[in-house]
Amino acid sequence: MRHTFVALVEDKPGVLNRVVSVFRRRTFNIESLTVGRTHQEGISRITIVVDSDKTDVVRIMPYMYKLINVLQVEDLTYQPHVNRDLAMVKINATPENRAAIMQLAEVFRARVVDVTNNSLIIEITGDEEKIDGFVDVLRPYGIIEMVRTGIIAMERGASTLINNMGENQNYELPIEFKMA
């Protein structure tokens, strides 16, 4: 099963290395990793997706918390959340089949962002299945190159990771810590 963790970290050199080291050291496998700024200066947000069959997911939150530069970690897997991936696909496109490809793109609400005589770049956002589906229908036309950002995720509703910061004064075990 796939687990999605999000973390707020201090935006300083080397912090990503520390986070990734938690995984590397224990030979945990990262499926996808994204890092970017937040609206608050000095705070970056990391989204990490791991496969729980290959990774002792229960250990991830406590190990991440242990890092001095990590401000907050949450496992969004069991909470209602939105996740998005963005892909750009460069595809062979002749004047003959261009219209057909663009029609497909429209069905998937993807956008053409570059056109040449013999190629197109199409940008698509969505959850992973939608993108996988789109890539599958493009394949017969000949994909030249593809790039994906990896998953970013956000909890639904008004609650935010930043609001939850410092909540641990009265420490109750996080979900994964709870004993059966």
Partner 1 sequence: MNKTGAQIFWECLEREGVDVIFGYPGGATLPIYDALVTSKIHHVLVRHEQGASHMADGYARASGRVGVALATSGPGATNLITGIATALMDSSPTVFITGQVSSPLIGYDAFQETDVTGITLPITKHNYLITDVNDIAPTIREAFFLAKSGRPGPVLIDITKDAQQATIDWEYDDQPAHLPGYRPDFRPANSEFERAVEMIHNAKKPLILAGHGILISGAMEEVLEFAERTQTPVADTLLGLGAFPGSHSLSLGMMGMHGEAWVNKAIQEADLLLAFGMRFDDRVTGKISHYAPKAKKIHIEIDPSEINKNVQVDIALVGDLKEILQKMLPSISTVDHTEWLEEINTLRGHSAVRDIKNLPDNGHLYAAHVINALWQVTKGEAIIVSDVGQNQMWTAQYYRHDKPNTSITSGGLGTMGFGLPGGIGAKFAKPDQEVWVIAGDGGIQMTQAELSTIAQEGIKVNIAILNNGYLGMVRQWQEFFYDKRYSATPMKGPDLVKIAEAHGLTGIRVSSRDEVVDAIEAARKNPGTVLIDFKVEKEDSVYPMVPTGAAIDAMIRRPLPESVIQES
Question: What distances in angstroms separate CA 170 from CA 97, 167, 173, 178, one per listed residue?
Answer: 62, 7, 10, 15
**Nearer to partner 1 by C-beta: 118 or 168?**
168
Is 156 a residue that touches partner 1 (CB under 8 A)? no
CB 153: neighbour CB atoms within 10 A? Answer: 22
At 74, list the tokens.
């949450």
Question: What distances in angstroms separate CA 165 from CA 12, 51, 129, 130, one per listed residue?
Answer: 19, 26, 32, 33
80-119 positions binding partner 1, by CB under 8 A: none
The residue behind tokens 């998937």 is 108
User: Least Å distance between CB 137 and partner 1?
Assistant: 44
User: Least Å distance between CB 151 and partner 1?
Assistant: 23
Rounded CA-CA distance 26/150 in Å is 22
Is 173 a residue that touches partner 1 (CB under 8 A)? yes
8-67 positions binding partner 1, by CB under 8 A: 9-10, 14, 17-18, 21, 25, 58-59, 62-63, 65-67
Binding site residues, partner 1, CB under 8 A:
9-10, 14, 17-18, 21, 25, 58-59, 62-63, 65-71, 165, 168-173, 177, 179
